[in-house]
Structure 1
Amino acid sequence: MAGNNMKPNQNKSKFSPWIVYSSILAIILVINFLTNGSNLGDSKQLSLSKLFDYLEKGYVERVEFTRSAAKIYLTEEALQNSEFEELQRKTILGRENTGPQYITEIGNSEIFQKKLDQAATEGKLKEYKSETESNWGDLFINFLPIIIIIAFWLFMMRRMTGGGAAGGGGQIFSIGKSKAKLFDEKNDIKITFNDVAGLEGAKEEIEEIVEFLKNPEKYTSIGGKIPKGALLVGPPGTGKTLLAKAVAGEAKVPFFSLSGSDFVEMFVGVGASRVRDLFKQAKEKSPSIIFIDEIDAVGRARGKSNFSGSNDERENTLNQLLTEMDGFGSNTNVIVLAATNRAEILDKALLRAGRFDRQIYVDLPDVKEREAIFKVHLRNIKKVDNLDIDFLAKQTPGFSGADIANVCNEAALTAARKGKTAVDMQDFLDAVDRIVGGLEKKNKIITPEEKYAIAIHEAGHATVSWMCEHASPLVKVTIVPRGQSLGAAWYLPAERQIVRTEQMLDEMCATMGGRAAEKIIFDKISTGALSDLEKVTKQAKAMVTVYGLNEKIGNITYYDSSGQNEYNFSKPYSEETAKVIDEEISKLIEGQYQRAIDILSANRDKLIQLADLLCEKEVIFKEDLENIFGKRPFDSVSNSGESENTQKDSAEKEL
């Protein structure tokens, strides 16, 4: 199917702007050639007295004149004279100089006329005439710049409006037409709900919308109304657009797909016109579905960040969209689907019932859903038979569906790079490490002192997280430079639905373990803890200002889920409260820093032993920490030995 879809694009001729430039140059050359037919460009200026002298001598054969100038044609006998030797040469284009040979400015027309009459009477001038008719060649030359400007303007307008795209967008008079792509029985896509793993709740609601269109009588017979719209909301990469594609593949009804930015144009009124045309097409083909991806491009709340007070084209587009969604009746069988990851900035009028009756939240997948997503993306990948997909799902907490697809693709590329015929667990672990931490830089030049400092820093993280009850279990620690980091520690965070104060404090303490270890061992600190400080500062600020977990500030949150704070000119608290917030944030961070120092001071020898092991192996695992610290007392359920051995074997192969 992919090959068939590419054929129309391959056969379609592409319009090149060089054709326009070449055409203009050709026109100029043709005009130059035609105007040189009279050799006007080779004519020389001649004074009036000299002309009268030539008339007396009988050198002039014909004179053509207007009110201001005259063209002088010499006789063949005169051209043979050595005086006119220069006029005997051919023109630039290789044609003979047939005249006029001279051009003369006419001063007094009466005297000029008398001289011509006298010469003709004496037989010294064969012909003379007055030119009153228009010279079309000169007229065309005069208007040529205007013609070129108009042609260039039309060409640029065509390029800006899509260059002949579907839906009439390529023509200047069709710029208000909708750019939506239509998928129906003639132009369908092969994605179904079987290709969408996880998201069971979202799939159930989406499948019901498809059922509305396939069998509306089932719901309308008992008085139900078909919903007018559904909004897919969720973080990037969770599968909102994929769900819409599955609807297009399953519904078997006309499916109009476009992006919110397709309504936006530099011309006033185009967005609203495209909205009208889109709904007109959808009503003509009802029952049908309209899908608007990234609707926040036109659905942003009105009146925000518009300080000029002028008419806003985006607001006009939104107003037309609101009117169309609430304007057609429930019996038209047109359903609007939209997707965004910024629902908080959407206009409230757009979200009300009657426009988007349902808001479907598409969240990040949990461990079971990640396992199902892995199975979908592994269908077309040649993998080893004993691949532990459950372990892969546990090793990718917080990954979206797009991230998992990237892991599978990166693992396949890694296996191909190594010349393997099938993808194994090692390739997937390498892919996860590369996506999370970046590409390994084993050749990066690091002095022994820096290497030991990095080992102390990472050993500090590992030690404190091992000693804190609620810190995430350690998977492995490495001091191999990767991406922008000089070392990294991998953890397996618990997938909690709620987080308590002691859990956040333990996480902060483990994060500060790196800087605390540097302080204990070297009595100095370095710039290597920048990312750690950034992380704990955000956590502490969230505890104080968002989650209400600080006793002094109390049960107050300054978080605004509607996104209105973005446009406020003042803080939602006083200067005195701001000072207290700063003090409490600093107190939280410094308290956990001191706690990390106390933990590491009590385990200084083991910290140094762990750092030495890191310098030797560069990568260590949970099993290595157990050999130094003993079993972690807080692990009620330890990770499977198979998972640890798989990670360890993988690292040995790397090194």
Structure 2
Amino acid sequence: MAGNMKPNPNKSKFNPWLLYGSILVIILVIQLLTRGSSFGNTKELSLSKLYEYVDKGYVDKIEFSRSAAKVYIKESALESVEDLKNTQSKPLLGQQSKGPQFITDIGDPKILQEKLDLAVKDQKLTEYKSEPESNWGDFLISFLPIIIIIGFWLFMMRRMTGGGGSGGGGQIFSIGKSKAKLFDEKNDIQVSFKDVAGLEGAKDEIVEIVEFLKNPEKYTSIGGKIPKGALLVGPPGTGKTLLAKAVAGEAKVPFFSLSGSDFVEMFVGVGASRVRDLFKQAKEKSPAIIFIDEIDAVGRARGKSNFSGSNDERENTLNQLLTEMDGFGSNTNVIVLAATNRAEILDKALLRAGRFDRQIYVDLPDVKEREQIFNVHLRNIKKVDNLDIDFLAKQTPGFSGADIANVCNEAALTAARKDKSQVDMQDFLDAVDRIIGGLEKKNKIISPDEKYAIAIHEAGHATVSWMCEHASPLVKVTIVPRGQSLGAAWYLPAERQIVRTEQMLDEMCATMGGRAAEKIIFDKISTGALSDLEKVTKQAKAMVTVYGLNEKLGNITYYDSSGQGEYNFSKPYSEDTAKVIDEEISKLIEGQYERAQKILSDNRDKLIQLADLLCEKEVIFKQDLENIFGKRPFDKEVIEDIEVTEVEKSAEGEA
């Protein structure tokens, strides 16, 4: 079956430049044939001048029609008469021009004929002859533009209908054809399941789908039916498209790949036509797999966000897709894989059993899966032998597979920038810092007062997080500007499956520690806490309106998992409830702000000591906080440290 997919390399392709060159050559040949070898050298001559040349005996012969006369001058006259010397034609294409040298508008041909009869009688003219009005050459010249236009039109029509050239979806009459790419297992880049690290549950489901197509009798012999489709759902960068590429590499069946936006076109009916053509091609090569990436481009719930009242082309495309997947005449030997990170907005009819029978959730990788992903992406990178990949996996919580690939690439670039031959741990840490916080801006001019204020702010975060039991453990703090921030603190959050109220409150308290420190030390606050306030407000709002963690509102949530709430014009709660929500959110934030102030007031001296150290070094680590505050009494999990001394030296050198 792979032989059917391979294009014929011996098939000749039409080159349109051959057509254009042929037309140009034809025009030149016609001009040479109709104008003679004097092409481009014939000049106009007035009728009175013609009579003068005839009377003087300069003219050898004349050929005239009803409107014009071709005048041939004697060679002796061309050589002796001064006025005629510059009309001597230059050789063209290696041949000497033999005339005519002039063309004259004659007006009434009878008068000219009488004059020429007298000239011949007086032996002033050798001969003359009358020609028909036009010959075939003149006819072709006059109609040549029309002929060229008709030929070009026929050529374009043939190209548009796919009769000539490479055909395909770029032709006007082929616009309803599918744009799906047929995967060629011999020529395309191979991706196998070995290249997909982690995602063990999702891989098991996908492997089974491939097995359905390879060995269907195993399942159908006992009455089972091959599923129609599988929907890959998950956050961006988690490997949904990579899984599909692995299916294309592992399955020995035709694999059609395209994006949801490939169905959308400005012309009415094109999307539905492309869906029909896609499934027609897949059925012809069945068993086959169709992969639609970002299916939400056409699979959005019908009847939503369509305020125009007109027929929606996207809905027609979706209707056709629903029919093809499970309608009359549908084929069970075609499996549809689709990927999206917005499953909540998809149409319910698309998600029912019989269409997408399986929904495979591709989640962010945990620490073990991140270690496996690092091993995959580090295959082609020259790294030091003692690189601790387990530590890197622990230092990148919440990173997707695409983020980890970016970390490995940035680490390699960082090492190359420093003229290293191998990538070491510090390069990876620098890459993580750059991805999380942005590029360092060491040349940014900051006054000493501002620098101390930033140090107090970051020291406030570090102090409160150190004193709160459920706050994330600190990794390092810096006041070197990165990206849009003037300072940053790096934490290592625990990978929890559920979050309790006290854990969220401790996180909020640590976030408010920066502004609280400014208030305690300077008795003033600044605009530097904008991102902190944004984060805390979102957390408090989620506690009150989403997770039902507020005692006054009780066990109620206003979260809409279907994603259709955005299209409603009314809120799911009353004005009185909205007022209560605002009050409870404010109460939560202000309560944690006061708690952070109390913690910092009790540890004011240590806060100032930490800020001074931060001003001196610009980058401090967990060991520095242990030297000032002592070990955290409620640290249940000991985090593996890097050689802190080496990192400190590097950071000091950069500062």
| TM-score band, normalised by shorter chain | 0.7 to 0.9
Which residue number corresponds to residue 5 of structure 1? none
TM-score (norm 2): 0.83
Q: CA offset at residue 451 of structure 1? A: 2.2
**CA contact 2:233–2:342 (8 Å) conserved in 1:** yes
Q: Distance in 1 between matches of 2:601 and 2:14?
A: 73
- Residue in structure 1 matched with residue 73 of structure 2 by the alignment: 74
Per the alignment, in what secondary structure is the counterpart of residue 88 of structure 1?
coil
Deviation string 1:170-194 (CA, Å, 9 cap, x unpaired) is 6666554444343466557643333
Helix, strand or coil: the match of 2:509?
helix
- Select between 439-448 and 215-224 the one with higher mean Cα deviation: 439-448
Verify: 1:132 aligned to 2:134, yes or no. yes
Which moves more between the two structures, 132-141 or 344-353?
132-141
Q: Is the 8 A contact 1:228 1:330 kept in 2?
A: no
State the Cα deviation string for residues 398-451 of structure 1 (Å, max 9, x = none).
Answer: 011121222233334444554555544333222222221223333444333332
Tell me, in whole angstroms, the C-alpha distance in 2 between the residues paired with 1:78 and 1:249: 85
Aligned-residue offset at 1:457: 1.6
State how far apart, in whole Å, the 1-side matches of 2:351 and 2:170 are: 33
Distance in 1, matches of 2:520 and 2:23, equals: 77
Greater Cα shift, 111-120 or 425-434: 111-120
Q: Which position in structure 2 is the counterpart of 1:104?
A: 104
* Secondary structure in structure 2 of the residue aligned to 1:644: coil
Indicate how the Cα distance of structure 1 residues 566 and 43 shifts in structure 2: closer, same or farther if over 3 A, else same.
farther
**1:634 aligned partner, one-letter code:** F
Deviation for aligned residue 1:229: 0.5
Q: Which range is displaced more, 32-41 or 188-197?
A: 32-41
Q: Deviation at 1:198?
A: 2.0
The 5 A counterparts of 1:551-566 are 556-566=556-566
1:649 alignment partner in structure 2 = 646
Q: What is the deviation of 1:228?
A: 0.6
Q: Offset of 1:459 from its aligned partner? A: 0.7
- Counterpart of 2:355 in structure 1 is 355
CA distance in structure 2 between the aligned counterparts of 1:566 and 1:112, rounded to whole angstroms? 91
How is 1:30-429 mapped onto 2 (pairs within 5 angstroms)? Answer: 37=36, 39=38, 41-79=40-78, 80-88=80-88, 90=90, 98-108=98-108, 110-112=110-112, 114-115=114-115, 119=119, 124=125, 125-134=127-136, 135=138, 138-139=141-142, 142-143=145-146, 146=149, 168-169=168-169, 176-183=176-183, 186=186, 190-265=190-265, 268-309=268-309, 312-327=312-327, 332-418=332-418, 420=420, 422-429=422-429
Shift of 1:477: 0.7
Which is worse superposed, 416-425 or 21-30?
A: 21-30
* Distance of 2:520 and 2:152 partners within structure 1: 75
Contact 1:457 1:518 in 2 (8 A): yes
- 1:116-165 deviation per Cα after TM superposition (whole angstroms, max 9, x unaligned): 5655566534223233224256236534874797599789989xx9x987
The 1-side partners of 2:604 and 2:557 are apart by: 40
Note the 1:607-646 alignment, pairs <5 A.
Answer: 607-635=607-635, 637-640=636-639, 643-646=640-643
Greater alpha carbon shift after TM alignment, 18-27 vs 103-112:
18-27
Post-superposition offset of 1:619: 1.7
Q: 1:576, 1:100 → 2: CA distance?
A: 103
Q: Distance in 2 between matches of 1:103 and 1:74?
A: 11
1:88-139 C-alpha deviation (Å, 9 max, x unpaired): 3649999866444333335445545554565556653422323322425623
Structure 1 unpaired stretches of 5+: 1-7
Question: How far apart, CA to CA, are the structure 1 residues paired with 2:588 and 2:45?
Answer: 98
Q: Distance in 1 between matches of 2:314 and 2:218?
A: 39
Q: 1:450 maps to what in 2?
A: 450
Q: Distance in 2 between matches of 1:170 and 1:384?
A: 50
Equivalent residue number for residue 3 of structure 1: none
Q: Where does residue 600 of structure 1 map in the other structure?
A: 600
Deviation at 1:81, TM superposition (A): 2.4
Letter in 2 for 1:127: K
CA–CA separation in structure 2 for the residues paired with 1:172 and 1:399? 45
Q: Structure 2: how far apart are the matches of 1:448 and 1:607?
A: 18
Letter in 1 for 2:353: A
- Contact kept, 8 Å, 1:299 with 1:346, in 2: the verdict is yes
Closer/same/farther in 2, CA of residues 33 and 634 from structure 1, 3 Å limit:
farther
Quote the residue 1:493 is aligned against: 493
- Once the 2 structures are TM-superposed, how far is the Cα of residue 614 of structure 1 from its aligned partner? 0.7
* Rounded Cα–Cα distance in structure 2 between residues aligned with 1:203 and 1:424: 32
Answer whether contact 2:30 2:141 (CA < 8 A) is retained: no
Measured against aligned partners, the alpha-carbon deviations of 1:512-532 in whole angstroms (never above 9, x if no partner) come to 222232233334433333322
SS in 2 for 1:596: helix
**Contact 2:159–2:165, Cα closer than 8 Å, also in 1:** no
**What is the CA distance between 1:289 and its match in structure 2?**
1.8
Matches of 1:619 and 1:332 in 2, distance apart? 62
Q: In the alignment, residue 129 of structure 2 is paired with which amino acid?
A: E
Q: Could you tell which deviates more after superposition, 439-448 or 356-365? A: 439-448
The TM-score with structure 1 as length reference comes to 0.83
Once residues 608 and 264 of structure 1 are traced to their aligned partners in structure 2, the CA distance between those partners, rounded to angstroms, is: 61
Q: Do 2:63 and 2:71's aligned partners in 1 also have CA atoms closer than 8 Å?
A: yes
**Aligned AA (2:365):** P
